[in-house]
Structure 1
Amino acid sequence: MPDRPNPARVVADADVLAADLLVGGDAREALDHVRAHSWVELAASDALLDDTEALVADLADPALAADHRERLEADRIDVDHPEGDHPALASAYRGQAAHLLSFDDTLRSAKAGLTLQPRISVSVRPPDAFARLFDPESLHEAVVGGEYRGPDRDPRA
């Protein structure tokens, strides 16, 4: 496994994936950046999708939760990790993601950062910060190369 994470790979915690579907707002804006660029990837394990499906089923409807999971499964980079690991953290580590989006204050705390940094190089931030700071032009130059021509996919498709 390479030491450096992929700067074009993102993990969204179950709370962000559910908010994207049910609320919109910052979660949707952040994940629209991912969906709008074919070279930016969403990494997620089955355990992370399990958590998301359970959360959406609890807050809304089991059928909607199953449909949402099906779409996420089709669009994600599948990540395996040991049972019992935190699904979002493990997805970031095992999926070599540079970004982890979460509303969980404990994951974004200074204490968590000090614990994580010796083990994994990942930026944990809330969706609004990612949406504000996402710079597709410079990221494209670093990851893909060549001229950035803007988003190449419809994030709603």
Structure 2
Amino acid sequence: MANQPDPARVVADSDVLAADLLVGGDARDALDHVRGHSWVELVASDPLLERTEQLVATLADPGLAADHRERLEADRVVVEQPEGDHPALASAYQGRAAHLLSYEERLRSAKAGLTLQPRVSVSVRPPDAFARLFDPASLYEAVEGGEYPGPDRDPRE
């Protein structure tokens, strides 16, 4: 169905995208699953990348932030964002992503889940949970069909 979320589409909030670059850890582990499989897609709107670039520039360096944004732009599925929407939520909704990775408690709360469920079917979780629960073999079988061949890309390139 066209309105059903795509289990092979992932949105990472700006905090996760910045942590992936600057800290590593759980954020990098989670996004390595995305980068390591050509059939798993990172979805992001321009405002989500703008917010990420601003965060990285504030925490590190504007040049690094611009380079990071350029790489993200090359690797993402582009979606439009309605004015005033939360960048990560809008990216998930507009891109039919089944997964939203965020450190933001407000997005991961039970109240948020109850508010979101009637509008969008998305699993909001912290990167460590996604990294731990990601099962590429069963996802590959469901999305692509056939036996899982293993990662097909180097997540560091």
Q: TM-score range by the shorter chain?
A: over 0.9
Give the count of matched residue pairs: 157
- Structure 1: tracts of 5 or more residues without a match: none
The answer for the alignment partner of 1:144 in structure 2 is 144
The aligned amino acid for 2:22 is: L
Counterpart residue type for residue 39 of structure 1: W
Pairing 1:97-108 to 2, within 5 Å after superposition: 97-108=97-108
Q: Name 1:48's counterpart in structure 2.
A: 48
Alignment of 1:103-118 (within 5 A): 103-118=103-118
Aligned to 2:14: 14
TM-score w.r.t. length of structure 1 = 0.99
Name stretches of at least 5 consecutive residues in structure 2 with no aligned partner. none
RMSD: 0.8
Residues 128-143 of structure 1: pairs in structure 2 closer than 5 A: 128-143=128-143
What SS is found at the alignment partner of 1:124? strand
Q: Partner amino acid for 2:152?
A: D
Return the offset for 1:83: 1.4
- Cα deviations by residue, 1:20-40 (Å, 9 ceiling, x for unpaired): 000000000000000000000
Deviations 1:54-99 (A, max 9, x none): 0000000000000000000000000102111100000000000000
Q: Percent identity?
A: 81
Runs of 4+ deviating beyond 2 Å: none
Q: Deviations over 1:7-52 (max 9, x none)?
A: 0000000000000000000000000000000000000000000000
